[in-house]
């Protein structure tokens, strides 16, 4: 095995609470460099005390891609592999050894597992594959926010599913800069399907229903918008917006479109089922949830959502089954929900009530 040199690089600002854990996780690297973008807490001193090389640069106006590129420029040319990891992220132990098992002179980028969120019991929620490990000198970062690595020459990507990164974000930090940066990103490249989708989603998060609908519909018209999973997500988000506006029939139409686009994904079935559930149309809700549960494989993309895979889906179908008189099924499903959410008192009470009907 060739002795490739690995350098971790990152940007940071006011993340002193993460420094010790992060540096410990990155120790397997041959070098760690961090670009501080204006911390006013002890982030810099803590990093330096732990032996990390730290540089400082202020970006005004702020752009994630410019900061990422500046941090990448700190990686010395003699280092073969660049690993971009934020301070709120933690590698699984042995990550470098696993990386070197799949790396060779032809590889330019590695895709690996990323646990973006966790439930209260520490189980992964939203998980997908990311690819921020790359060959030195082969990439640059682009887009003001939701920045991506853009190849400068022909690339070859390999999968390493034995590497895992866990994300433990600071939930007190504001993401208020995201919306204007996404609007800027779309102005800079109005044909970029990914950022058009993200902008529509951001409008939805801000409850700007009409702006979200317009933007997400525009995403669906773009020539580059060919990835079915993301197209279906736009359709679901349009459905959510219409539902929030009280236009239920239009919402149902868009959820059905999402299902037709990606019949292999659970999310559309579950969201549509919940509309019927709220209307107490338990048979329709039950039918769609059963179809969702026939899908056993969770996608490895960022499109997957927790509600389709955690206790929620089993909770709702248990109530539907109970109201339809399917008492044995209702008990089976609520027990499944409790396996995933064992401390939920409401679920425990539901189980007690449902079991009475089996006697």
Looking at residue 111, its pLDDT comes to 98
DSSP 191: T
Q: Could you tell me how many helices (H) and strands (E) the chain has, helices first?
A: 14, 10
What is 6-167's CATH topology?
Answer: Spore Coat Polysaccharide Biosynthesis Protein SpsA; Chain A (3.90.550)
Q: In terms of CATH architecture, what is 178-295?
A: Alpha Horseshoe (1.25)
Strand partners, 127: 115
pTM of the model: 0.92
For residue 119, what pLDDT is reported? Answer: 87
Domain residue limits, the chain:
6-167, 178-295, 310-359
Instruction: Report the pLDDT value the prediction gives residue 154, as an integer from 0 to 100.
Output: 96
Q: 207: which 2 tokens?
A: 């409850």
Give, in order, the Cα–Cα distances in Å from 352 to each of 21, 237, 322, 335, 358: 43, 36, 12, 11, 11
Measuring CA to CA, which residue among 183, 197, 187, 73 is closest to residue 137? 73
Distance CA 85, CA 130 (A): 11
Q: Which pLDDT belongs to residue 182?
A: 97
Which residue carries 């961090």 as its tokens?
A: 34
In DSSP terms, which residues pair with 148 in a beta bridge? 142
Which residues of the chain are under the pLDDT cut of 70?
1
Whole-angstrom Cα distance, residue 217 to residue 235? 8
pLDDT reported for residue 173: 80
Residue-level pLDDT at 267:
98
Question: Tens digits of per-residue pLDDT, 201-256?
Answer: 999 999 999 999 999 999 999 999 999 999 999 999 999 999 999 999 999 999 99
Q: Is the dihedral of CA 337, 342, 343, 347 positive or negative?
A: positive
């Amino acid at each position: 095995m060739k002795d490739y040199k690995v350098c971790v690089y990152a940007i940071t600002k006011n993340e002193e609470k993460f420094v010790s854990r992060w540096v410990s996780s990155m120790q397997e690297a041959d070098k760690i460099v961090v670009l501080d973008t204006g911390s006013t807490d002890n982030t810099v001193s803590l990093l330096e005390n732990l032996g990390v090389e730290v540089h400082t640069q202020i970006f005004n106006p702020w752009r994630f891609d410019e900061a990422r590129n500046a941090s990448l420029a700190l990686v010395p040319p003699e280092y073969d592999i660049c690993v971009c990891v934020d301070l709120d992220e933690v590698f699984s132990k042995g990550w470098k050894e696993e990386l070197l098992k799949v790396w060779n002179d032809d590889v330019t980028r590695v895709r690996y597992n990323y646990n973006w969120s966790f439930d209260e019991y520490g189980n992964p929620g939203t998980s997908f594959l990311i690819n921020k490990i790359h060959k030195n000198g082969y990439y640059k970062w682009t887009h003001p926010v939701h920045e991506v690595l853009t190849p400068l020459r022909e690339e070859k990507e390999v999968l390493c599913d034995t590497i895992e990164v866990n994300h433990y974000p600071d939930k007190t930090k504001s993401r208020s800069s995201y919306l204007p940066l996404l609007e800027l990103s779309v102005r800079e490249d109005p044909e970029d399907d990914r950022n058009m989708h993200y902008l529509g989603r951001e409008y939805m998060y801000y409850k700007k229903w009409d702006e979200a609908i317009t933007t997400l519909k525009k995403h669906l018209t773009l020539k580059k918008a060919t990835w079915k999973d993301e197209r279906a997500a736009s359709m679901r988000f349009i459905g959510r917006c219409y539902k929030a506006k009280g236009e239920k029939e239009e919402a149902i139409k868009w959820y059905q479109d999402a299902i037709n686009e990606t019949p292999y994904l659970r999310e559309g079935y579950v969201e549509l089922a919940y509309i019927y559930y709220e209307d107490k149309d338990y048979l329709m809700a039950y039918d769609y949830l059963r179809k969702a549960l026939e899908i056993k494989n969770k996608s490895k993309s960022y499109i997957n959502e927790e509600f389709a895979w955690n206790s929620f889906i089993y909770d709702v179908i248990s109530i539907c089954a109970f109201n339809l008189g399917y008492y044995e099924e209702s008990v089976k499903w609520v027990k499944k929900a409790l396996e995933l959410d064992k401390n939920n008192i409401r679920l425990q009470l539901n189980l007690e009530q449902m079991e009475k009907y089996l006697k």
